[in-house]
Structure 1
Amino acid sequence: MTHIAVLGAGVVGITTAWYLRQAGFDVTVIERESAPGIQTLFASGALSVGGMNPWANPKTPLATLKGFFREDAPLLYHLRADKSQRQWALQFLRERRAEQADANLAQMVRLGLYSQTALKQLRIDTDLSYEHKTRGVMHFYTHQAYFEAAAEPTKRLQELSCERRFIDINNAASLEPALYPVAHRLVGATFTSCDESGNPYLFTQRLTEKCILAGVRFLYNTEVVAISMDDDTSKSRVHSITIRPIDENAQTFSADSYVLALGHDSMALVKPLDIHLPIFAAKSYSATYKVNPRAPHLAPFISLIDDEYKLIISRLGDKLRVTSAIEFSGHSLPLNLAQCEAITDRIQHLFPKGIIANSAKYWAGIHPMTPSSVPLIGRAHAGSVRRGSQNSEATFENLWLNTGHGTLGWTFACGSAKALSLLLQDRVPDIDFNFVGISHS
């Protein structure tokens, strides 16, 4: 049986392990943390294709300039003396051109819809429960300019087969009664019925349990420190990896193939192989509130997206999870209190009696962001890697990529994992997507 090592036990790594095991592979997952899904502890609860938009788009420069002067800006960019950040930023600016941004959006939506279908089938196959809701996701608007600006992207999403549509204020309040108290402030809304929500950490934990029952092995508290190549220079093939279990000496680990699902840490690991991944650390914030037990109906039940403040609001049982902001400041996890306070101020303004504001638990998570917002899925190759890139003379036979998902790791997880498992079986996934290192003819 072919043995595959999945490097990383985040939501992407765990879904990859599941689909590979279901395809008949022998699978080992290697993770430096003590448990799976640590970076999904307080992540966004929405799986929204209707909310997709590449961070690099024609409106990005103005939004970024505003972020230079406001620590609570939804898009915040901190300049650092970091060559990799400057290189990534230049690529990011190239991706913002209208034609390129639209092509990136098409890739994201196709992968998102493919992933939604895969997740629904996984739920049927496993009876997995993770506080999920299939009630759709609503964008709401409290300022006319933002509402009018939604017309073009909504139309484009419809052209890409995403069922996002405009609804009036009465319909919005009927779909989500918690909006009734602020209905007079709303100017419009859109609704995507196929979108979902749920608890990504619970999803990752419970799918891990299914993986263990299916025979997947896990090595926790184990860092991957190096990748070693075969001595035969005529082939670009990984011979083994060097791992370092906690409180132990480094040791060699071998498998037939390796899948890189280490997020931001993927870059440094493959750089000695002359593989250049365009990934930069993007930090997002979340706040989790207790729902007021005396008025639970005044906190929303369906997932909401506040476009103006870039908030994603999801009900998880008796809690309300709100995620916000992207901050480009390197691999730094300390909380920006201005961002945290901005989240609570807005939520108190919208649902003052629905939550217990002083119960807020703030969290920051790091996401591996590509300049295009399109993840890197496929076979690794030497040189500069981007979506659809190939290098037939320096393609690695047994090193695969499933990384760079940005803030959409959970949304893309099932789709990218299913597609990668098919590629490893020499099968063609039923999706029009520019996989890395794969012929697109």
Structure 2
Amino acid sequence: MKVLVLGAGVVGVTSAWYLAEAGHDVTVVDRQAAAGLETSFANGGQISVSHAEPWANPHAPALALSWMGREDAPLLFRLRWDPALFSWGLRFLRECTPARTRANIRDIVSLALYSRSRLQDLRAATGITYDHLERGILHIYTDRRDFAGAVEAAAVMREFGCERNTIDADACLSIEPTLAKIHPQIVGGDFTPADESGDAHRFTQNLAALGAARGITFRYGKTIERLALAGGRIAGVVADGELLTADAYVVALGCESVFLLAPVGVRVPIYPGKGYSATIPLRDDSVAPTVSVTDDGHKIVFSRLGQRLRVAGTAEFNGYDRSLNAVRCQALLDRTLEIFPDLRPAGEPEYWTGLRPVTPSNLPIIGRTRVPNLYINSGHGTLGWTLACGSAAALADLLSGRRPEAEFPYLRG
């Protein structure tokens, strides 16, 4: 089957890879000049099954209200008239019940475990490199109420197969000695030894190169304008005035998926959650972590990528604004130097912001839409890198008429 994949981020490129592996003739179209230049460019770098607790949980509404008006808040809803955000927010609140949170954790863990396994298989088969480390992910907590909530969430994740183990402050320091400065403030933590870290941008570009060598066609610099509908099916994609045709179409455009799908009657509950990152170059004598660390109270992650430290986090709901906010950028750097005062950077941080495609439940939308030959693989929120390989492999199965291995509520048309 001839398949057109729209989007060359980590989700689009992995989709193309697994579709080609399944025997399909695949073309990828993207407006950028190369793969992985938008939301996949500078994310937190974690392959984190341990982040399966969704933003929508029983504690979220009170936290969001307590942070309202704080420019450096970990989770910031900017008050503005936005019907899309209002509708999305109501759905988000419905997902905050204990029962919905538990069900969503179950589904995220199932897909994330499968995805991590597929990434490991791909790495073994291809030798792909991307500054990856297999040293686990360590969550630290400096607030006792946050820690108590994390203990409950970790227990649910263990029930569904994620080895997220609750530990004390001394064990946190033993796992990552560079936390010595903040050790007196740590009230506890949890550690998931099987989780990983790595550079999603480098992975995406290297996988695109491997895919091109195996016959995947990449059409870069092509702005996708609309889907052409005829006879209840997609007849083609108009990109820069050119009609591109295929047997099946996969929309993997992150937040932009909303605008492309709506005119053909497919409405998806995706809203942009703006995230920030700082990439800090390191000197040879820098005292920087080698285990990927999550500072849960500040919603910030730290991942070592070779001689760089990637610091990423926070979520800002402010429509499709992509501007860098200096206060939120500085908050990342300030917290980094509080935790790692001997970091000794080799230069100035490189700041970046990207729009994560967030659903109210935090579950991505994967599968066939109501239009028979139109598929979607989007809505991964903060877990695009974690879920990319599993989502792509499952999509390839669905498009090929097979049942995906991971138990997950896929779209089936």
Q: Say whether the 8 Å CA contact 1:348–1:357 is kept in structure 2.
A: no
> 1:61 and 2:34 equivalent?
no
Whether contact under 8 Å (1:344, 1:357) holds in the other structure is no
| 8 Å Cα contact 2:168/2:189 also seen in 1 | yes
The separation in 2 between residues aligned to 1:190 and 1:61, in whole angstroms, is 24
- 2:406 aligns with 431
Q: Report what 1:5 is aligned to.
A: 4
- CA distance in 2: counterparts of 1:182 and 1:101, whole angstroms: 31
Post-superposition offset of 1:411: 0.6
2:320 aligned partner: 331
Structure 1 position 183 matched with structure 2 position 174: no
TM (norm. structure 1) is 0.91
Deviates more, 1:99-108 or 1:203-212: 99-108
Q: 1:305 aligns with which of 294, 305, 311?
A: 294
Cα deviations by residue, 1:42-79 (Å, 9 ceiling, x for unpaired): 11111111122111111111121123220111000012
Question: Aligned equivalents of 2:31 and 2:57: distance in 1?
Answer: 35
* TM-superposed deviation, 1:358: 6.3
Report the Cα distance in structure 1 between the residues aligned to 2:180 and 2:97, rounded to whole angstroms: 39
Taking structure 2 as the reference length, the TM-score comes to: 0.97
**Cα distance, 1:90 vs. partner?**
1.2
Aligned AA for 2:266? I
Q: Deviations over 1:164-204 (max 9, x none)?
A: 00223333222212123432332222100110000110000
Alignment of 1:262-411 (within 5 A): 262-294=253-285, 296=286, 298-356=287-345, 359-381=348-370, 396-411=371-386
Letter in 2 for 1:255: A
Q: Secondary structure at the match of 1:252?
A: strand
> Hey, which bits of structure 1, 4+ residues long, moved more than 4 A?
none
* Deviation sequence 1:356-377 (CA, Å, 0-9, x none): 2962111111111111110000
How many Å separate the matches in 1 of 2:64 and 2:141?
21
Q: Within 2, Cα distance between the matches of 1:58 and 1:289?
A: 35
Structure 2: state its 5+ residue gaps.
none
Give per-residue Cα distances to partners, 1:415-437, cap 9 Å, x unaligned.
00000101111111112111012
How much has 1:28 moved relative to structure 2? 0.3
- CA deviation vs aligned residue, 1:225-278 (integer Å, no higher than 9, x gap): 1112223xxxx321112111xxxxx12111010001011111111111111111
Corresponding residue for residue 75 of structure 2: 75
In the TM superposition, 1:8-407 aligns within 5 A as 8-39=7-38, 40-231=40-231, 236-244=232-240, 250-294=241-285, 296=286, 298-356=287-345, 359-381=348-370, 396-407=371-382
Report the residue type matching 1:14 in the other structure.
V
Instruction: Write out per-residue CA displacement over residues 375-432 of structure 1, whole angstroms, 9 at most, x where no aligned residue.
Output: 0000012xxxxxxxxxxxxxx2211110111111111100000001011111111121
Distance 1:168 1:82, change over 3 A: closer
1:103-150 Cα shifts (integer Å, max 9, x gaps): 111111111111001101000111111000011000112233322222
Q: Structure 1: which 5+ runs fail to align?
A: 245-249, 382-395
| Count, aligned residues | 412
State the one-letter code of the partner of 2:53. Answer: N
Could you tell me whether the CA contact under 8 Å between 1:292 and 1:353 is conserved in 2? no
Task: Assess if the C-alpha contact under 8 Å between 2:282 and 2:346 holds in 1.
Answer: no
> Is the CA contact 1:112–1:412 (under 8 Å) kept in the aligned structure 2?
yes
Q: Distance in 1 between matches of 2:360 and 2:322?
A: 21
1:390 — aligned with what? none
Contact 2:11 2:388 in 1 (8 A): yes
CA distance in 2, matches of 1:125, 1:419: 19
CA RMSD of aligned residues (A): 1.4
Structure 2 CA distance, aligned partners of 1:323 and 1:177?
Answer: 21
- Work out the CA distance in 2 between the residues paired with 1:63 and 1:355: 34
Identity across the alignment (%): 42
> What letter is aligned with 1:286?
S
Q: String of CA shifts for 1:3-40, please: whole Å, max 9, x gaps.
A: 10000000000000000111111000000111110122
Q: Return the alpha-carbon distance in structure 2 between the equivalents of residues 23 and 434 of structure 1.
A: 22
Match of 2:389 in 1: 414
Distance in 2, Cα, partners of 1:98 & 1:223: 42
